[in-house]
Structure 1
Amino acid sequence: MTEPVRLPLAYHDTAVACSYHLASADAVAELLPRSGGRPLLRPLHAPGGRTLVAVHALRHRTVTWTDTDGGTHRLAPYGEVGVTAGVFAGPAARRGARPATGGFVLQLPVTSREARDLGRDEWGLPKWLADMDFLDVPGSQCVRLGEAGADVLVHTVRAGGPALRGTRSRRLWSVRGGRLLETTTPVLARWQAHPGPGGAELVLGEHPVADALRDLDLSPVPLAAFRAVEHRSTLPAGRSLGDADAAPGIVHPGRDAGFGRFTVAHPGTAPMSQYPEAAAA
């Protein structure tokens, strides 16, 4: 019998490329959780009725957890693409506490069933099994996210220059079992930045999830883009903040399999599967 995964998870080595885009604040607000009709989270404000949405492409290469006897176990490596709305939580969510800013995950496809089920069960995250093909070239990273041969999106980030070290905590909210969860993730990273519109490109494909993102009026041109040359983090259990209605977010069940396609290519090399089973097949 396989021992259940115990939290927290330690992410020792993750490749991250992210960009920040404008979207319709009204459209994003429709996807955020409520309690008895009261908004628990609200979109961050930007001029012209817009708000901030982040797109993250991640390759988790080494993820471990510790069992009750002190033994160390690993998750299989996996790819992940997150689409996260920038939000603030007011008193309705935090029981009179001061407003706090963070993110609410709208989409979080991954390349392993293990990562999908853990995210759904522990945090109520909108994870589904997908295919991801990464291309790394000097100064940029590109991921093609797809399912059953259809492209969901292609995300390219170009960022270089000096890498600046940053230590901070990332706050995320999610809904699980009728409760609003707040999860605070400590992060240690070194970032390369590209401010302005030239740092990334987001192209939506022909897929139901792509159509849902298109409905957010998501700008393909970013405000800024970043790449991590070093990234470590710890993912603990979420903290329950109170009752929440089921989040009406972008729901996509996806297929059921052990793994999706997960490849990485570099200039002059063929895509290499990150899963030995797929490579052998």
Structure 2
Amino acid sequence: MSTAADVHVIRGERVALPVRVRDAAVASATFAVPAGPAQNLIAYSGLAVARPLPGRAVCSLAFVRYSDGDLGRYHEFAVAFLVRSPGASGGRLTRVAAFIHWLPVDQEFTLDAGRSIWGFPKVLADIPMHLTSRIKRCAVRFDGRTAIELAVKPGLPVPTGLPGGRAAPRLDAYSCLDGVTRRIPWTVSPSRLRLRPGGARVRLGDHPVADELRALGLPRAPALSSGVIPHMTMAFDAAEEVTA
């Protein structure tokens, strides 16, 4: 049973934590980008980018169609960076998380919920998405002007089942809004994952985030990998303010 602290009122509707997503489809691509510029870009969060290779950070672009969940049906696009969890030492990837730098959505309810409950940097945009064709495509547009387009080719099937019936892994996502950095515990359970090296095409338009990605070498830099998940369930727990 949810306590009063676990319930938020968004546009007159009660939203209880954890917020659950019962069906979502995801396409994503990861890129190796210069660590120095990436660190400068997310310096406002107080977090440090992970550096899996000398001088390189990891930037991920993803689009998600939420078909069934506590926040309704909507489309979302994400620009995220792999970061070291606060307190992690050295450059090892033993404690890493996803820092969400930019998160357009196409519905106002999830916009308000994401910003007020977790401090996610959600903004309202038009996000046309095509997930039924072989190549998965998405665009983010503001007032008819394209900020970014991403196309992802599916790869080979990858097993996603957990042996012994173990629970879905709990990850950490980080957000920073209005100068406050937060940690959000996040549980994901993907099925029918397909991965491949490369396999993504990015087109950047006229938008500040597009300029930020250009400064990191996109769209010239090839994707390290791309992936498609036709079905995923998720759960988002309460955010916790952190001192990064």
TM-score normalized by structure 2? Answer: 0.82
**Aligned equivalents of 1:43 and 1:211: distance in 2?**
19
**Aligned equivalents of 1:155 and 1:115: distance in 2?**
22
Q: Indicate the percent of aligned positions where both proteins have the same amino acid.
A: 26
Q: What's the counterpart of residue 249 of structure 1? A: none
Q: Give CA-to-partner distance per residue, 1:30-85, whole Å, 9 cap, x none.
A: 23356xxxx84211214462210111100111112xxxxxxxxxx33110000101
Q: Give CA-to-partner distance per residue, 1:170-229, whole Å, 9 cap, x none.
A: 3111235654321121111114333322x2111111223211222232355211111112
Picking from 98, 102, 108, the partner of 1:107 is 102
1:152-171 aligned at under 5 Å gives the runs: 152-166=147-161, 167-171=168-172
CA contact (8 A) 1:193 1:227 kept: yes
Matched, 1:236 2:242: no
**Structural RMSD (CA):** 2.5
**Aligned equivalents of 1:99 and 1:46: distance in 2?**
11
Picking from 50, 57, 74, the partner of 1:51 is 57
Q: How many residues align?
A: 224
AA of the residue aligned to 2:68: T
Q: Which runs of 4+ in 1 moved over 4 A?
A: 176-179
- Aligned to 2:209, the other structure's residue is in SS state helix
Q: What's the counterpart of residue 78 of structure 1? A: 74
Identify the range of structure 1 (81-90 vs 45-54) with the bigger mean alpha-carbon deviation: 45-54
**Aligned equivalents of 1:187 and 1:206: distance in 2?**
33
AA of the residue aligned to 2:55: G
Q: What's the counterpart of residue 267 of structure 1? A: none
1:179-198 aligned at under 5 Å gives the runs: 179-197=180-198
Identify the range of structure 1 (175-184 vs 127-136) with the bigger mean alpha-carbon deviation: 175-184
CA contact (8 A) 2:136 2:153 kept: yes
1:132-211 aligned at under 5 Å gives the runs: 132-166=127-161, 167-176=168-177, 178-197=179-198, 199-211=199-211
CA contact (8 A) 1:102 1:170 kept: yes
CA contact (8 A) 2:101 2:175 kept: no
**Aligned equivalents of 1:232 and 1:168: distance in 2?**
12
Larger Rg belongs to: 1
How far apart are residue 3 of structure 1 and its match? 3.3
Q: What's the counterpart of residue 213 of structure 1? A: 213
- Aligned to 1:30, the other structure's residue is in SS state helix
TM-score normalized by structure 1? Answer: 0.72
| Uncovered stretches (5+) of structure 2, i.e. residues with no partner | 1-10, 162-167
**Aligned equivalents of 2:201 and 2:159: distance in 1?**
23
Cα 1:23–1:218 shift into 2, 3 Å: farther
CA contact (8 A) 2:21 2:69 kept: yes
AA of the residue aligned to 2:232: H
- Aligned to 2:217, the other structure's residue is in SS state coil
| Uncovered stretches (5+) of structure 1, i.e. residues with no partner | 65-74, 245-281
**Aligned equivalents of 2:133 and 2:142: distance in 1?**
27
